[in-house]
Chain A
């Protein structure tokens, strides 16, 4: 099997189209995960025991089951209940929801890490509950977990090919259909790896920069 450079050049546009879906799905999913994760973490600290326990078990369940059956569930089962979404929407939502349960744990640890003295000083100043969270606890908690949250971006990126299972035309899907057309899989699959590495490395560099920015400020 010989590496064919001109064939490689020909398939690049197809692959880049796939990569665009991969990146979009990852970024949108990440946005959902970052926000929803914080919501879970906060709900797990509400005074209401029922809310706390429900959130705890639901997130635990999502976190401890694989993403693929969750994707299939949303894609095949929800429509039978009258809830129909496009492939990409389902993919983005489920990727985001799945990872939000991991992020929730990250936020939870960050919040737990804020020293007791901070809560007590806030109480001694008589700050109302929302101000304690918004001005004192969350800024400290979030800052501490930014590196971990950043690593999840890359983790999600690497998991995004799972969206292939429901037919989102992401990178791996494009590579496979190119291969199926030409019966040449070496170049497309290799290029999938190369593109993943390139994007991952670039994101890591950007993330590390962001981290440094927050570490010094």
Chain B
């Protein structure tokens, strides 16, 4: 959610804690014969900021992609707020979600990708207005105002007419963050959003996300290997390995004195790079 001054009064930013939580119940995900998530259970409280860490291939991205409905689970239930994401109630029975249900559920969720994925055929403004106008039915003027407010927030007001190819990676990622926020999601998913950036551009994007985390009430699910950043923005850290939670806790303890050997090994390996 953007800062309150850019939010229309009618849906002014609610207090932190009113965003929906997330619950995974025995979630199974396979790719062919490779079972990536094996009856995974975990909960994220409303408005909570959770960072997922763990070695490459441990299933962190898969978790975010399941939430964004980019992948379909093979079993179990995923709740966003009180409603199952991939199922709906029909006559008291739980049936697979149809497109309409998925569309409604997706409105609660936004995602920022490692590779930005801005639309190269649109300028920055259009990247930010496309969703609000085409999906939320926001009138053009209002969508443009909202886009301008968000560009101010991400520090790129002067790039409103630029095309993505004319921007640095860091600028593209900040536009991508603004694009996600323009949809006013209640849950924001961040998948290694700084790992494709040149080192000198990482800080700018991290600072922006810190601000957003401070100013909004979003439920935040974040995959990152940047420990300082994770410490700053998260309430809780989950350590994954092979699709299982190895250990969890507040960031100070997780990074300071992890109790599991696998966590210690992982952190050691990350620090070494």
Which residues of A line the B interface, CB within 8 A?
115, 117-118, 120-128, 131, 135-136, 139-140, 143
Contact present for B113 and A126 (CB under 8 Å)? no
CA distance A128 to B70 in the complex (A): 15
User: Does B134 have its Cβ within 8 Å of any Cβ on chain A?
Assistant: yes
Size range of the chain B interface in the assembly = 20 to 34
User: Does B107 have its Cβ within 8 Å of any Cβ on chain A?
Assistant: yes
CA distance A127 to B106 in the complex (A): 10
Per-residue CB contact flags for chain B residues 59-90 toward chain A (1 = under 8 Å, else 0) read 00000000011100000000000000000000
Residues on A with beta carbons closer than 8 Å to the beta carbon of B135: 125-128
CA distance A118 to B119 in the complex (A): 7
Residues on A with beta carbons closer than 8 Å to the beta carbon of B103: 126, 128
Chain A to chain B: the 6 pairs with minimum beta-carbon distance, closest first: A121-B117, A117-B117, A125-B131, A139-B121, A124-B111, A126-B106
User: Does B6 have its Cβ within 8 Å of any Cβ on chain A?
Assistant: no
CA distance A10 to B118 in the complex (A): 61
Contact present for B115 and A125 (CB under 8 Å)? no
Contact present for B117 and A128 (CB under 8 Å)? no
Contact present for A124 and B70 (CB under 8 Å)? yes
CA distance A72 to B197 in the complex (A): 61
Q: Which of B68, B118, B134 contacts A123 (CB 8 A)?
A: B68
Contact present for A127 and B121 (CB under 8 Å)? no
Q: Which residue of A lies closest to B136 (CB)?
A: A126
Per-residue CB contact flags for chain B residues 118-142 toward chain A (1 = under 8 Å, else 0) read 1111100000001100110000000
The answer to whether residues A135 and B131 also contact, given A120-B70, A120-B117, A123-B70 and a CB cut-off of 8 A, is: no
- Supplied contacts A125-B179, A128-B134, A135-B119, 10 more A-B pairs, CB within 8 Å: A120-B113, A121-B118, A123-B69, A123-B106, A124-B70, A124-B111, A126-B107, A127-B134, A127-B135, A143-B121
Contact present for A135 and B117 (CB under 8 Å)? no
Q: Which residue of B lies closest to A143 (CB)?
A: B121
User: Does B183 have its Cβ within 8 Å of any Cβ on chain A?
Assistant: yes
29 contacts between A and B (CB under 8 A): A118-B119, A120-B113, A120-B117, A121-B117, A121-B118, A121-B119, A123-B68, A123-B106, A124-B68, A124-B70, A124-B111, A124-B113, A125-B130, A125-B131, A125-B135, A125-B183, A126-B106, A126-B135, A127-B131, A127-B134, A128-B134, A128-B135, A131-B130, A131-B134, A136-B119, A136-B121, A139-B121, A140-B120, A140-B121
- Closest CB-CB distance, A214 to chain B, in whole Å? 11
Residues on B with beta carbons closer than 8 Å to the beta carbon of A136: 119, 121
- Closest CB-CB distance, A116 to chain B, in whole Å? 9
Residues on B with beta carbons closer than 8 Å to the beta carbon of A121: 113, 117-119
Contact present for B119 and A126 (CB under 8 Å)? no
Per-residue CB contact flags for chain B residues 92-110 toward chain A (1 = under 8 Å, else 0) read 0000000000010011011
- Closest CB-CB distance, B195 to chain A, in whole Å? 15
User: Does B180 have its Cβ within 8 Å of any Cβ on chain A?
Assistant: yes
